[in-house]
Amino acid sequence: SSRINDVVMERAAAYMKEGMTEREVADYIVAQYAAEGCDSTAFLPIVSYGAHAADPHHEADQTRLKAGDCIVIDMGCRKNRYCSDMTRTFFCRAADPKYAAIHDLVREANELAESMLRPGVPLCDLDKAARDHISAAGYGEYFTHRLGHFIGQTEHEKGDVSATNTTLAKPGMIFSIEPGVYLPGEFGVRVEDLVLVTEDGCEILNHVDKHWKTVG
């Protein structure tokens, strides 16, 4: 499921062009899942341009892509009953330096949490590390959700990676690592992978490059 998600995210990035609506891109993603033999989507793709990206749960609409917009794509499919989930953030044609720097910050928070993950680590420590990294740059109040959620045969399973969950990581757990920064009315960015806890660390199940890139 995650392998297919990687393939379709790469296709979506290549497909997006200035002037396309959020809905067009979301529909394209759904069609590509079908072409790859998925059972279904795990959830409806989130495609958010510009200020819409400041809403982590925005529903794709008829807004058209403009040069300079950020683009948040959060998507997942269901294959052989198991769900995938990944988010990447792109920019149309060019990236405002302020927004590019925030993207780098969020990516670093994602990579920091993933680098800490191994059996025995409290899940709340992962959330704290990512949150502290974002807070140190002055954006802590704009990281408005938990770091991650468990996933398997449903898109959100019991358990999360949050400040209040002191559960210790153990082999076989699969959950998301998805820090974000959301500036109301302006911009949003999220970088999300699924991770599998292994005997001595973790396996990152998504392989699409996490550095920001331009499309369109």
* pLDDT, one tens digit for every residue, the chain (216 residues): 999 999 999 999 999 999 999 999 999 999 999 999 999 999 999 999 999 999 999 999 999 999 999 999 999 999 999 999 999 999 999 999 999 999 999 999 999 999 999 999 999 999 999 999 999 999 999 999 999 999 999 999 999 999 999 999 999 999 999 999 999 999 999 999 999 999 999 999 999 999 999 999
Listed residue (114, 86, 93, 105) closest to 49, CA to CA: 93
What structural domains and CATH numbers belong to the chain? 2-215 (3.90.230.10)
pTM exceeds 0.85: yes
